[in-house]
Amino acid sequence: MKFNLKFAILVSLCCFLGLSAMSQKKGFIRIFDGKSLKGWKGDSAHWKVENGVIVGEVTPEKQLKENTFLIWEGGEVADFELKIQYKISAGGNSGIQYRSELVPGITYGLKGYQADIDGKNEYTGLNYEERGRGFIAKRGEKVVVDAAGKKVLEQSLESTQALSQVLKLNDWNEYHIIAKGNRMQHYINGVLMSDAIDNDVKNRKSSGLLGLQAHVTSEMRVEFRSIRIKQYAN
């Protein structure tokens, strides 16, 4: 009886731990199959799948005149969480575009909020509005944008230098974007990098497209994998 009771307790504990792990992942769906760009659209001169990861590349032979994006074809995102792993070259410049819209006259061009990524980790983690208001919240900042569009620093989260120590150079990092209502939080490797509350009703966006950026530069390579999204009903 004692043995059976211990066994039952052990089984119950394993089940509990398994269910806990499942509940943490509940609601997230994978939007990259690890094999192809099915469900995504972009310039094939700069985007491909290689060894199970999405690769965005700019080479001396294949230059960009404008920033280009690999755009998710799953529809617009509004309130959501995104988890995505990335790795970028030392001279790379990229980002994760969300709640964005197409730029007229530019194929695969987007404008909107961006979770920034760069190889030197000078800007990685901040919130930047592509073709819009520019820096919304820099790394280490919690910013409130008021109704007139003025950006007010509400809180310093940590120094940008201290936060840069969390970022791995030439290795895999995990971005976690949480966008709910007018608040957007950018986490990397589990640490909050920037926090923005946008009260600028005229210019803010509550929904839009999701995309990955290859930035105009002489040469760069960025890789993405394990892309998962959880969307919330509005």
* Amino acid 23: pLDDT: 41
Torsion of CA 112, 117, 120, 123, to 10 degrees: 50
* Domain edges within the chain: 29-231
DSSP-assigned beta bridge partners for residue 83: 176, 228
Per-residue pLDDT of the chain in tens (234 residues, 90 and over written 9)? 444 545 444 545 555 455 444 444 679 999 999 999 999 999 999 999 999 999 999 999 999 999 999 999 999 999 999 999 999 999 999 999 999 999 999 999 999 999 999 999 999 999 999 999 999 999 999 999 999 999 999 999 999 999 999 999 999 999 999 999 999 999 999 999 999 999 999 999 999 999 999 999 999 999 999 999 999 987
Q: In this structure, are residues 81 and 93 in contact, taking their beta carbons and an 8 Å threshold?
A: no
Count Cβ atoms below 10 Å from residue 225 Cβ, excluding itself.
17
* Amino acid 15: pLDDT: 55
CA distance 85 to 72: 16
Place of tokens 């310039």: 43
* Amino acid 71: pLDDT: 98
* Amino acid 234: pLDDT: 72
CA distances to 92, 160, 161, 163, 175 from 122, in Å: 11, 8, 9, 10, 16
CA distance 9 to 39: 45
CATH number given to 29-231:
2.60.120.560
